[in-house]
Structure 1
Amino acid sequence: MNRKKILVINPNSSKSMTDSLDQMIYSLNHDEQLPFAAEIHTYTAPSGPLSINNESDARASARVVISDLETELLQYDAFLVACYSVHPLVGMLRQRLAPHQHVIGIFEASISTALALLRLDLEYSSKSPQMFGILSTGTYWEEALTLGVGAYLGEQNPDRFSSDRFKGVETTGLSATELHTAPPEEVKRKLMEATKRLVKWRNVKVICLGCAGMVGLDSIVEEALVEELGAQEAGKVYILDGVKAGLGLLEGLLRALPGKAT
């Protein structure tokens, strides 16, 4: 039987961002203890926004990608949309795919995984709730991602919801491309400041890296955690990369709901 194939879609046109994804996927595929069973490919939008900084960019990128990939969808068993937003491409793909083909965005994947990592003990958690939070790029995403989380959690009024599971969104003020083009000391400073703001009340147990461009920057987040919380408490906080979470979920879906052999 042929190996299943997953396509990781970078919906912006920045090849450097896809190169970062390729490096991470290469390291995952060469992990002797946990190699991926599926064959993983990457894709970069041929045109459109270099960085997705708002909903308008997301819609524009979705139109480009769905048109470009239309004839290639049958070649893959699963798709990961590597943009940390409620990206319309996820829904567009689901409308076109067969039931045995799976698609998820890194936003949805990270929330699902974060919730699975939080303690679920009703008696204890009500006294000391564990929460997840999101680190993202530009300030636009503070409201946009909060609304997205509310909608994903099924809130009737996601613009006015509060949750004892979700801490909120902190941003660096940098765009996705600036994470890799701005001076490294500036990137580090802003990312560390945002991390410290997110965990200062010491109830965040999962930090979701809210941008595919944050691949490889988790060491900076770890450093900020140690400075803010101390080494012992910092070691109890999960740093969750949405691309890794998404690939893990898709692998699980391909195993649990494999569909017809290809």
Structure 2
Amino acid sequence: MRIQVINGNTYEPMTQGIDESAQAARAPQTTVITTQPKTGPQSIESYYDEYLAIPGILEQVVLGKDQFDAFVIACWGDPGVEAAREVTTKPVIGIAEASMYVANMLAARWGVVTTQHRALDMIEKTIAKTGFAQRCVSIRTTGIPVIETENARQQTLDALEIAGRLAMEQDRAEALCLGCAGMSRLDLELEQRLGIPIIDAVAAAVKLAEAIVGLHKQTSKALTYRLPELKPIPGFPDYMQPAALSGDRSADQAETTATAPAPTAS
């Protein structure tokens, strides 16, 4: 089994940290290759950053779709996950969704600890999109920028402990998701400090990807995640054009036939 883990940003030290978490989580028979986009922001801390990051993330999936059995997008906003599912039949796992699934099975009430306060709206929308808003009782921030979560590990850990205690004591959270890929590998020490389950989102996504591949399941192409419509997209390379994406388009043809107007009698 081969899994490609894609860092959502272009900051190399964070890519290395994500790889450490992914390698520690993988099963012995699984090969994990961690990459980052060729273009895009060094950190994703705003909607502007997120939307600029998505083309580079999609390019990684398109280039790897014949080489890997599953993809993990390692940014807690899950940028580009839905679009990536359109270009491949292979499972595409966002680390946010994966971590929430795990938290949901470990605790009745759980929360998210993330980076800066301005990310709250992005985090709330990510949670709402997965349908877990009723189970998430807390979103707390450390105030530490994304890149610094990788560079200032002790400061990040201490800030996570403070935020985590607030989530437990004021919001009654019984488990916590680490809401940034840069926080990976801090879960075990934070668990020792807080005494509740702490979910490393990168590790959770790798294990979930292994499980889905092991179940021999692929992304549904029945409707929502069909291949993109055949039309030119100016400014993008040939391999990113819908016509270059291999796959079964019979569902598209069937829908066209089904919705075509019936011939009128002459």
The TM-score with structure 2 as length reference comes to 0.75
Q: Is the 8 A contact 1:191 1:220 kept in 2?
A: no
Partner of 2:261: none
Give 1:79-228 correspondences, 5 Å limit: 79-87=71-79, 89-98=80-89, 101-118=90-107, 130-153=108-131, 163=134, 165-182=135-152, 184-201=153-170, 203-222=172-191, 224-225=193-194
Aligned partner of residue 146 in structure 1, secondary structure:
helix
Once residues 51 and 83 of structure 2 are traced to their aligned partners in structure 1, the CA distance between those partners, rounded to angstroms, is 11
Q: Is the 8 A contact 2:25 2:206 kept in 1?
A: no
Q: Which 5+ residue runs of structure 2 have no aligned equivalent?
A: 219-266
The TM-score with structure 1 as length reference comes to 0.76
Once residues 48 and 79 of structure 1 are traced to their aligned partners in structure 2, the CA distance between those partners, rounded to angstroms, is 19
Once residues 151 and 102 of structure 1 are traced to their aligned partners in structure 2, the CA distance between those partners, rounded to angstroms, is 18
Tell me which structure has the larger Cα radius of gyration: 2
Partner of 2:237: none
Once residues 18 and 145 of structure 1 are traced to their aligned partners in structure 2, the CA distance between those partners, rounded to angstroms, is 21
1:25 aligns with 2:3: no
Task: Identify if the C-alpha distance between structure 1 residues 147 and 26 changes in structure 2 by more than 3 Å, giving closer, same or farther.
Answer: closer
Once residues 214 and 61 of structure 2 are traced to their aligned partners in structure 1, the CA distance between those partners, rounded to angstroms, is 25
Partner of 2:254: none
Which 4+ runs in 1 deviate beyond 4 A?
Answer: none
Task: Identify if the C-alpha distance between structure 1 residues 69 and 104 changes in structure 2 by more than 3 Å, giving closer, same or farther.
Answer: closer
Aligned partner of residue 175 in structure 2, secondary structure:
strand
Aligned partner of residue 64 in structure 1, secondary structure:
helix
Q: Which amino acid in 2 is paired with 1:45?
A: P
Once residues 113 and 256 of structure 1 are traced to their aligned partners in structure 2, the CA distance between those partners, rounded to angstroms, is 18
How far does the alpha carbon of each residue in 1:113-151 deviate from its partner, in whole angstroms, 9 at most, with x for none? 111223xxxxxxxxxxx3010010111222221222123
Aligned partner of residue 174 in structure 2, secondary structure:
strand
Q: How many residues align?
A: 218
Partner of 1:123: none
Kindly state the Cα deviation for residue 202 of structure 1 after the two structures are TM-superposed. 7.3
How far does the alpha carbon of each residue in 1:98-119 deviate from its partner, in whole angstroms, 9 at most, with x for none? 2xx100100111111111223x
How far does the alpha carbon of each residue in 1:34-78 deviate from its partner, in whole angstroms, 9 at most, with x for none? x34321111112221111102221111111232355333211110
Kindly state the Cα deviation for residue 185 of structure 1 after the two structures are TM-superposed. 5.0
Once residues 162 and 16 of structure 2 are traced to their aligned partners in structure 1, the CA distance between those partners, rounded to angstroms, is 27
Partner of 1:257: 216
Once residues 147 and 207 of structure 1 are traced to their aligned partners in structure 2, the CA distance between those partners, rounded to angstroms, is 17
Task: Identify if the C-alpha distance between structure 1 residues 177 and 253 changes in structure 2 by more than 3 Å, giving closer, same or farther.
Answer: same
Q: Cα RMSD (Å) of the superposition? A: 2.1
1:240 aligns with 2:237: no
Once residues 197 and 155 of structure 2 are traced to their aligned partners in structure 1, the CA distance between those partners, rounded to angstroms, is 24
Q: Is the 8 A contact 2:137 2:171 kept in 1?
A: no
Residue 38 of structure 1: which of 30, 38, 50 is its match?
A: 30
Partner of 2:10: 13
Once residues 255 and 203 of structure 1 are traced to their aligned partners in structure 2, the CA distance between those partners, rounded to angstroms, is 35
Task: Identify if the C-alpha distance between structure 1 residues 69 and 97 changes in structure 2 by more than 3 Å, giving closer, same or farther.
Answer: closer
Task: Identify if the C-alpha distance between structure 1 residues 224 and 143 changes in structure 2 by more than 3 Å, giving closer, same or farther.
Answer: farther
Q: Is the 8 A contact 2:191 2:197 kept in 1?
A: no
Aligned partner of residue 170 in structure 1, secondary structure:
strand
Identity of aligned residues (%): 27
Q: Which 5+ residue runs of structure 1 have no aligned equivalent?
A: 30-34, 119-129, 155-161, 226-233
